[in-house]
Amino acid sequence: MATTQLNAVEQAKAKVGASRVQRQRILGAIGSHAVLVFATFIALFPCFWIVSASFKPKSEIDSSEISLFPKAPTLSNYSYTLFDNQNAIFWKWLLNSLIVAGLTAVLGVFLSATAAYAFSRFNFVGKKVGLMSFLVVQMFPLALLLLPIFNILNGLKLINTIPGLVLAYSTTAIPFCVWMMKGFFDTIPYELEEAAQIDGLGKLGTFWRIALPLSLPGISVVTFFSFMTAWNEFLLALVLMTGNENYTVSVGLRTFVDAYRANWGAYSAGATLVTIPVALLFLWAQRYLVSGLTSGGVKG
């Protein structure tokens, strides 16, 4: 009888303990989701505000009344930005940004992949110093590098040119890309390359046919990072490029807001349009980005 009562008490305690654990799990899940929802709101609200302002008429934007949604939606801001502003110069800014960002991505992938492969596969004098130099460069703020970059490009007669701007952006993108790509090449079993070399492939063929295909997630991350570095950058483009027609879109949008006028509607419309190429690139690369940021080219 006593044993039966003891077992009943233990079962009751076990049920209480299980219900307490389950209640704690539910409260923890609710708390986690609440934090995530709040963080998502904080991150997305400025973007929502810009998109909303792009559909508002000037009178509504300048009004002291705060409204989340446009009361009288209009496409006049987009029409002005795309077609009416200085002979549709927005298209020229957009083209400049696409060329600069595209060339920066191509150059960044080419140089970082080849350099990272050398650091991963070969032993040579200065290997550790070279890797550390790439890491140290990342520690300097861009503002400190502005003057030496300007002097170098001025000596090369590349100020106010697209190649000069591409070279400037590459200096900030390549160090990170080299470290990223080296991590991927390190995860590729060297036995695969040895087998390819036995079959007659040389070093270049092994790099092109074996290493690069297996590191495709890393290449996607490097391409996206290099493109975004050039697409969003403002300070270098402002200093190195002169003339309204030579501006990138990030610098060109600044002309909508100055000391004498503030066309917030056109500015918001332009900022909304600028996100479209990046969104398309992200949709293309999204299947590689998560795996590229968390793992190497080969899982074993």
* Dihedral over alpha carbons 287, 101, 250, 60 (to 10 degrees): -40
Q: What is the CATH number of domain 76-294?
A: 1.10.3720.10
- With tokens 């303990």, the residue in question is 17
Residue range 33-51, pLDDT digits in tens: 899 999 999 988 988 988 8
Number of Cβ atoms within 10 Å of the Cβ of 291: 16
Q: Nearest to residue 212, comparing CAs of 131, 289, 286, 298?
A: 298
What local confidence, expressed as pLDDT, does residue 299 receive?
43
- Write down the domain spans for the chain: 2-54, 76-294
How far is CA 230 from its chain centroid? Answer: 10
Collapsed DSSP state (helix, strand, coil) of residue 300 = coil
On the question of pLDDT at 124 being above 50, the answer is yes
Which whole number is the average pLDDT over 169-193?
Answer: 86
Non-local CB neighbours of 72 within 8 Å, separated by 6+ positions: 56, 57, 60
On the question of pLDDT at 103 being above 90, the answer is yes
Write down the pTM of the prediction: 0.80
On the question of pLDDT at 269 being above 70, the answer is yes
